[in-house]
Amino acid sequence: MAVITITNDVISTDSDGEEITTEVSTNYTVELVDGTFTATETETGIVEIIQPWDFEPDGSRIEWADSDTAVAWFKENNNHTGD
């Protein structure tokens, strides 16, 4: 089990019509157990995803190579803008 942070840029418009970019960070507890990747929002305890497989480029299903691969997939699919 590990804790990761997903960082997103949220763009809004101020009262002068100017765009403002705000960085929003959310912490998740993630784990890969028996081949299933789970990400739970740390603050609320809400399970964000339970993903039992990874995907090949053609869309077919494969087992997760490791937890780092699952975390990278989760970050990419949540538009993570940080490191």
Closest listed residue to residue 48, CA positions, set 38, 60, 59: 38
Q: How does pLDDT run across 22-81, given as a tens digit for each residue?
A: 999 999 999 999 999 999 999 999 999 999 999 999 999 999 999 999 999 999 998 888
Say if CB 18 and CB 5 are below 8 A apart.
no
Predicted TM-score (pTM) of the model is 0.83
Q: How does pLDDT run across 14-30, given as a tens digit for each residue?
A: 999 999 999 999 999 99
Task: Give the integer Cα–Cα distance in Å for 64 and 69.
Answer: 7
For the chain, give every domain's residue range.
2-77
